[in-house]
């Protein structure tokens, strides 16, 4: 495990990561997680909804075909079990690392009443407490609540309602722990993070640009990693509005950030960051809803880049990048057009095709 990032820490994109087998695709990789086994699990919206890679990008496994409607979030407990949210099924599932179902909460395809505070209406993400095994669920697109469950799936507590005041939400989209006594919620459409005690007592808030994903660092890494999404359509061509990863300390102060000032497919750009995870070397994995944000809006709808790895420079984990001789050709085929997309600025990858 690595130590916390500092203002001097740098992250560089691993170009071309991962190696997806011919004939398979993500369509869009909505979320990504790194299990205790060190494997990278990609929850996506293709016919292969869970794909598993090693950190070098080699394909290892896939499971879940035909078992999900609209994949959304992925998380792990300390034993390696996988927690998956599906906004089409309105469920939270707990599975083994090879996909065997252990528990399902929620009646499939049966949402709770809109903004009722009752689980679930399009739940978005799960965070499993590292000490107690209790898990918290942000819920969601059709609800404005956080739910706390016992390790065996018993509902212990819920809080939240629609609004923009403390303890109110406008699309709670992600959740993670800050230490072992506070819980952080990405209140996406209120453009803020809200910090609570484990009992739901409001502590503080911080403005962020459309926070879509959260990840708490592991071991000695006490940072919080925030994936900030794209702007509203009116402003999506503007620079420096979201489409980045921001690293915070536990007091929610900014430590560093990375991502080009413009959005697009180039290796140092983002389109719409939606899921985030960190491995033991400090490398950052970002899943993006890129088909929704860009690919579906092109004259001929098509898949675009939706999964990226950024290597922490003071860590290891450089495997998986394309050979240096292949990178110019790879960049030549990258799109820099379409809604909200532009060539990268101040970038070694600025030679992409216009």
CA distance 244 to 252: 16
Query: Is the Cβ–Cβ distance between 245 and 284 less than 8 Å?
Result: yes
pLDDT in tens, 121-155: 999 999 999 999 999 999 999 999 999 999 999 99
Contacts of 257 (CB under 8 A, 6+ apart): 244, 245, 246, 247
CA distance 182 to 187: 16
How many separate helices (H) and strands (E) can be counted in the chain?
Answer: 2, 24
Can you tell me whether residue 291 is helix, strand or coil? helix
> ω into residue 120 within 30 of 0, thus cis?
yes
pLDDT in tens, 224-272: 999 999 998 889 889 999 999 999 999 999 999 999 999 999 999 999 9
Q: What is the pLDDT of residue 157?
A: 98
pLDDT in tens, 84-120: 999 999 999 999 999 999 999 999 999 999 999 999 9
Handedness of CA 44, 9, 210, 262 (dihedral sign): negative
Domain definitions of the chain by residue range? 11-332
Q: How confident is the model at residue 220 (pLDDT cuts 50, 70, 90)?
A: very high
Q: How confident is the model at residue 353 (pLDDT cuts 50, 70, 90)?
A: very low
Q: What is the pLDDT of residue 331?
A: 81
| Mean of pLDDT values over 150-171 | 98
Q: Which residues, in sequence order, are bridge partners of residue 102?
A: none
Place of tokens 């490398």: 283
Contacts of 65 (CB under 8 A, 6+ apart): 47, 48, 49
Q: What is the pLDDT of residue 315?
A: 52
Q: Residue 171: what are its φ and ψ, rounded to 5°?
A: 75, 80
Report CA 279 to chain centroid distance, whole Å: 14
Tokens of 304: 């675009």
CA distance 221 to 294: 33
Cβ–Cβ contacts within 10 Å for residue 61, how many?
14
222: pLDDT strictly greater than 60: yes
167: pLDDT strictly greater than 60: yes
Cβ–Cβ contacts within 10 Å for residue 143, how many?
32
pLDDT in tens, 49-73: 999 999 999 999 999 999 999 999 9
Contacts of 262 (CB under 8 A, 6+ apart): 239, 243, 269, 341, 342, 343, 344, 345
Can you tell me whether residue 190 is helix, strand or coil? helix
75: pLDDT strictly greater than 80: yes
Q: What is the pLDDT of residue 352?
A: 45
- CATH class of segment(s) 11-332: mainly beta
Q: What is the pLDDT of residue 333?
A: 80
186: pLDDT strictly greater than 50: yes
pLDDT in tens, 296-333: 999 999 999 999 999 998 755 456 677 888 888 888 88
Query: Is the Cβ–Cβ distance between 32 and 307 less than 8 Å?
Result: yes
């Amino acid at each position: 495990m690595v130590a916390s990032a500092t203002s001097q820490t740098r992250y560089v994109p691993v170009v071309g990561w991962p190696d997806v087998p011919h004939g398979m695709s993500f369509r869009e990789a909505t979320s990504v997680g790194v299990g205790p086994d060190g494997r990278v699990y990609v929850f996506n919206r293709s016919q292969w909804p869970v794909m598993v890679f090693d950190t070098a990008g080699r394909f290892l496994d896939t499971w879940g075909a035909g078992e999900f409607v609209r994949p959304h979030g992925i998380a792990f407990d300390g034993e390696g079990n996988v927690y998956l949210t599906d906004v089409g099924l309105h469920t939270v599932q707990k599975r083994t690392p090879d996909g065997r179902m252990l528990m399902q909460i929620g009646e499939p395809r049966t949402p709770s009443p809109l903004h009722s505070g009752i689980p679930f209406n399009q739940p978005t993400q799960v965070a499993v407490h590292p000490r107690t095994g209790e898990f918290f669920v942000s819920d969601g697109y059709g609800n404005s609540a956080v739910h706390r469950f016992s390790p065996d799936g018993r509902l212990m507590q819920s809080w939240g309602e629609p609004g923009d005041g403390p303890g109110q939400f406008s699309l709670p989209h992600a959740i993670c722990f800050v230490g072992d006594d506070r819980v952080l919620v990405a209140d996406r459409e209120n453009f803020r993070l809200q910090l609570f005690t484990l009992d739901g007592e409001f502590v503080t808030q911080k403005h962020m640009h459309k926070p879509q994903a959260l990840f708490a660092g592991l071991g000695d890494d006490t940072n919080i990693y925030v994936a900030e999404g794209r702007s509203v359509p009116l402003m999506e061509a503007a620079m420096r509005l979201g489409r980045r990863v921001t690293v915070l300390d536990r007091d929610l102060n900014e430590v560093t950030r990375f991502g080009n000032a413009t959005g697009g497919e180039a290796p140092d750009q983002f389109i719409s960051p939606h899921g985030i995870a960190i491995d033991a070397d400090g490398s950052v994995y970002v899943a993006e809803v890129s088909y929704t944000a860009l690919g579906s809006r092109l004259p001929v709808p098509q898949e675009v880049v939706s999964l990226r790895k950024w290597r922490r420079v003071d860590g290891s984990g450089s495997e998986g990048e394309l050979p240096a001789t292949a990178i110019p050709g790879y960049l030549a085929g990258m799109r820099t057009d379409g809604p909200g997309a532009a060539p990268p600025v101040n970038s070694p990858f600025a030679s992409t095709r216009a």
